[in-house]
Amino acid sequence: MWKKVDIQNDEGEIVSAQAPVIISASRSTDIPTFYADWFVERWKKGYVKWMNPFNGVPSYVAFKNTRCVVFWTKNPKPMFKHIDFLDKYVKNYYFQYSLNDYDKEGYEGKVPRLESRIKSFIELSNRIGKERVVWRFDPMILTDEIDVHELLRRVKNIGDQLKDYTRKLVFSFADIAIYRKVAVNLKKENISYVEFTEDTMHQLAKGLQELNKTWNLELATCAEKIPLEQYGVTHNKCIDDDLMIDLFADDNVLMDFLGVKFEEATLFDPSNKVKKTRVLKDKGQREACGCITSKDIGQYNTCPHECVYCYANTSKELALKNYKKHKENQFSDTIVKR
């Protein structure tokens, strides 16, 4: 759906590239943690090369028409030194910050300790604004040692510290059965996981509703079909046109792409109204995913956080190998040369 432009690649060739309006950075790997310098250098170059994970075919992605970047991370600290650059040249961006608590179990092997991540969240929020840092507890995992009450205790500990530094909590239930390689990796780590049932989903949502009486955050699920509106929980859009309208309404090009029409307030109706004329749901995501369309620039098997539940890595060994390979040639046009 994206317009095509001609670019000059690093080898001096003129090639055709898709020029997306919205960039996702990234569902496939943690760019702010491991590839922050790469992202900034590639932004200066004006493009990246993306390798299709299913057929290995490369394609070029140009930033010429990009008006918004959505970052996904578990540790944004390496990106802090580039915030001034982002503010000047990217302008429209926000962070999806996954801040879970599985420290005791070591389920996220290489992420910093919880206390450090909470401090980073607060620092990021103070620098770019709490409306641009979305807290994710993703995924919620049940095991033979972590039940709903223990999960809620851990969420409360984090939420009590973050409530003034974000506007939203997004969560998902670990859908282990539908991701074969996740189940394989958990079995390899001897983790006795428990699948969520409708009853435990409702218990968790009800518990979050109680906690939220003191937080006053927006609560939303990520790509979950189950309706939980009775607990004040909505269905989220991580690549979110409503949030973009709220944050970046003065970007006319972005608003035109989103199909936004603003109706001026009148004497009899003093509030401005927003009308959306385009349906932009990302058809490449799961049916229950609410995201609008974007272009992801990450690569599978390149995130060395060593999260045991990761769907983007075949193995932590392969991810680490590819990351080390990237460090040898870190500013090449793709994260990892194939």
In this prediction, the residues of the chain whose per-residue pLDDT falls under 70 are 265-272, 338
Reading the block at residue 26, the tokens are 């990234």
209: alpha, beta or left, given left = phi > 0 and alpha = psi -120 to 50? Answer: alpha
**Terminal-to-terminal C-alpha distance of the chain:** 26
Q: Which amino acid is at 245?
A: I
pLDDT tens figures, 177-205: 777 777 877 888 888 899 999 999 999 99
Alpha helices in the chain (DSSP H): 31-34, 36-45, 77-80, 83-85, 114-128, 148-162, 180-188, 198-215, 241-248, 252-258, 316-328
Q: How far is 74 from 116, CA to CA, in rounded Å? A: 11
Residue 183's pLDDT is: 80
Q: Hey, which residues does 47 pair with through a beta bridge?
A: 62
CB 93, CB 134: distance < 8 Å: no
Strand ranges of the sheet holding 233-235, from the earlier edge strand across to the other edge: 233-235, 218-221, 168-173, 133-140, 93-98, 68-73, 22-25, 295-296
Residues 28-69: tens digit of each pLDDT: 999 999 999 999 999 999 999 999 888 888 999 999 999 999
Q: What is the model's pLDDT at position 274?
A: 87
Contact 133, 123 (CB under 8 A): no
Q: What was the pLDDT predicted at 266?
A: 63
The pLDDT, as a whole number, for residue 281 is 95
Determine contact, residues 29/334, Cβ cutoff 8 Å.
no
Phi, psi of 211 (to 5 degrees): -60, -35
In what helix (H) or strand (E) does residue 138 lie, and over which residues does it extend? strand 133-140
Q: Residue 330 has what pLDDT?
A: 86
3-state secondary structure of 50: strand
Q: What are phi and psi of 92, to 5 degrees?
A: -95, 105
> What distance in Å separates the CA atoms of residue 86 and residue 290, rounded to the nearest whole number?
26
What is the radius of gyration, based on Cα positions, of the chain?
20
- Specify the long-range contacts of residues 250-256, CB closer than 8 Å, at least 24 apart: 251/67, 251/68, 251/91, 251/92, 253/21, 253/67, 254/21, 254/67, 254/68, 254/92
DSSP state of 281: B
318, 301 contact by CB (below 8 A): yes
How many whole angstroms separate alpha carbon 235 and alpha carbon 23? 21
Contacts of residue 1, defined as CB under 8 A and 6 or more positions apart, other chains included, come to 293
